[in-house]
Amino acid sequence: MSAASSATEPTAPRVRLLSRTVAASAIFVLMALIPVVSHLSDDPFLTLAFTRILVFAIAALSLDLILGFGALVSFGHAAYVGFGAYAVGVLMRHGVTDIFVQLACAIGLSAVFAAITGAIALRTRGVYFIMITLAFGQMAYFFFTSLSAYGGDDGMSLQNRSTVLGSDVLESNLVLFYVTLGTLVGLYLMATAIVNSRFGRVLQGTREDALRMQAIGFRPFRYQLAAFMIAGCMASVAGVLLANQAEFVSPAYMSWHRSGELIVMVILGGVGTLLGGIVGAVVVLLLEEWLSIFTTHWRMGLGLLLILVVLFSPKGIGGIFERVFGPRK
């Protein structure tokens, strides 16, 4: 996975950091203005649609944390989004509507699943790792598909959104949007902190070469496992929000197509930049919506874009931005 290792080469780190911060702030501010646009254009739908995009941005961000900084290409990452969604759906069914309880369950379940499957998967490398994570993701998918009591394959629709300490503020699309945006910003800051922390440094060192890390006294496994668990838990937060956005929970959220889509978002946006995952999610989802207006063969347009990006911008869309706006070497 040499792309991963070269993607974050910190040329003139400070300048880069500054431009990242500026870019991140710009993106988040633009996002925050969506409801205003939505209001001005009398188009309430826009807010809700962008909420979904933000949710996937969270999921892509969490994947970028392990894919971009740990070279751990998880092909089962959508499972955690599903865990989050089912934590909401199942608890709702049993009358537990508080979002904090749901979040706690989602995160707990994800941590346990990630710990177990990660411990096994991290024995493998490269493509083997990709495939073994796919296997675990598929197991989770089929498990929920067979859960007749909770709708099985049909999924289940929610009667209401989650409550926050007894209040139903999330019923407002506007509130849900800003809660989601706030979560995204919070998790982005958290992920940035993690990447720059002692832990993040070890993780990135391991990405470059696990053997070298051992040679200076680290045991990479535990750091990779911890990162794998953190990313899973973050993705499950996205799942909790997705269930609230769609007001529907379905095993389709955890299929391998979704995991693949997340990987595509991260690579397209630019691996190992954190912001790249977010940009990738926004671009892929907007493009999908936009292209599908013109033709039911919209997948062809998406495919073309992917190929063009790979051929002409090896660092993803983030690379294009960097070339245009970023500091020159």
Partner 1 sequence: MTNLFLLQLLNGVQLGILLFLVAAGLTLIFGIMDFINIAHGVLYMVGAYLVATFAAMTGTFWLGLLIALPAVVAFGLFLEFFLFRRLYDRSHLDQVLATFGLMLILTEGVRMIWGSSPIFVPVPDALSGSIRLLGIINYPVYRIAIIAAGFAVAIGLYVLISHTRAGMLLRAGASNRPMVSALGVNITWLFAAVFAFGAMLAGFAGAMVAPVLSVDPGMGESVLILAFVVVVIGGIGSVKGAFVAAIVVGVVDTMGRTFGPILLQMVLDPSAASQTGRTLAPMLIYILMALVLAIRPSGLFGRRGAA
Partner 2 sequence: MSARLEIRDLQKRFGALAVTDGISLDIAPGELHAVIGPNGAGKTTLVSQLSGQLRPDAGQVVYDGQDITHLDMAGRVRRGMARSFQITTILHGFTVLQNVALAVQARSGSSFRFFGRADAEAGLNDAAMVFLRQVGLADRAQDIARNLSHGEHRQLEFAIALATAPRLLLLDEPFAGTGREEAAQLLDLMQQIKGTQTILLVEHDMNAVFALADRVSVLVYGQIIATGTPDEIRANAEVRGAYLGEEETTASGAAGC
Partner 3 sequence: MRTAWQTLAALAASTALVAGTAQAQDVKVGLVFTLSGPAAALGEQGRNGFMLAVEQLGGLGGLEATISEVDDEQQPDVAAGRVRELVQREEKQFIVGPIFSNILQAIMRPALDGGAFMISPNAGTSNYAGAECNENFFVTSYQNDQSHEVMGAYAEREGFESIFLLAPNYQAGRDSLAGVKRQFSGTVLSETYTPLGQLDFSGELAQIAALQPDAVFAFMPGGMGVNLVRQYEQAGLGEIPFLSAFTVDESTLSGQQAAALGKLAGANWAPDFDSDHSREFVAAYEERYGAIPGTYAMQAYDAAMLIDSAIRAVDGDLSDMDALRDALRQADFDSLRGNFRFNHNHYPIQDFYLTGVVQRDDGAFHTSILEKIFEDYADYYADACEMEW
Judged by the rule CB under 8 A, the positions of this chain that interact with partner 1 are: 1-4, 73, 120-121, 123-128, 131-132, 134-136, 138-139, 142-143, 145-146, 256, 260, 263-264, 267-268, 271, 297, 299-300, 302-307, 309-311, 314
**Token output for 182:** 């706030």
* Cβ nearer to partner 3, comparing 146 with 172: 146
Cβ-based neighbour number of residue 91 at 10 Å: 18
Gap between the Cα atoms of 188 and 191, Å rounded: 5
The DSSP-derived string for 148-188 is: GGGTGGG-EE-SSPPBBTTB-GGGSHHHHHHHHHHHHHHHH
Dist. CA 329–CA 327, nearest whole Å: 7
- Please count the residues of this chain forming the interface with partner 2, following the rule CB under 8 A: 31
Report if residue 329 touches partner 2, rule: CB under 8 A: no
Q: 37 or 310, CB closer to partner 1?
A: 310
Type of residue at 168: D
Q: How far is the CB of 281 from partner 3 (least distance, A)?
A: 14
Minimum CB distance to partner 1 smaller for 4 or for 226: 4
**Near partner 2 in 97-156, by CB under 8 A:** none
Cβ–Cβ < 8 Å for 203, 70: yes
CA-based radius of gyration for the chain = 19
Instruction: Evaluate whether 282 touches 270 at the Cβ level (below 8 Å).
Output: no
* Contact code string over 165-194 relative to partner 2, x by CB under 8 A: ----------------------------xx
The pattern of x and - marking residues 217 through 246 that bind partner 2 according to CB under 8 A reads xxx---x--x--------------------
Near partner 2 by CB under 8 A: residue from 41, 124, 172, 196:
196
Task: Find the helix or strand (DSSP H, E) in which 251 lies.
Answer: none
- Residue entry with tokens 């993803």: 316
Whole-angstrom Cα distance, residue 55 to residue 238?
Answer: 5
Can you read off the two tokens belonging to residue 181?
A: 């945006």
Report how far residue 47's alpha carbon sits from residue 177's, in angstroms, rounded to the nearest whole number. 7
- Return the number of the residue (227 or 291) whose C-beta is nearest partner 3: 291
Q: Closest distance between partner 3 and the C-beta of residue 136, in Å? A: 17
Among 211, 293, 311, 324, contact with partner 2 (rule: CB under 8 A): 211
CB of 325 to partner 2, least distance (A): 22
| Interface region with partner 2, contact rule CB under 8 A, candidates 3-11, 63-71, 97-105, 151-159 | 3-11
What residues line the site for partner 2 (CB under 8 A)? Answer: 5-6, 8-11, 13, 193-194, 196-202, 204-205, 208-209, 211-219, 223, 226
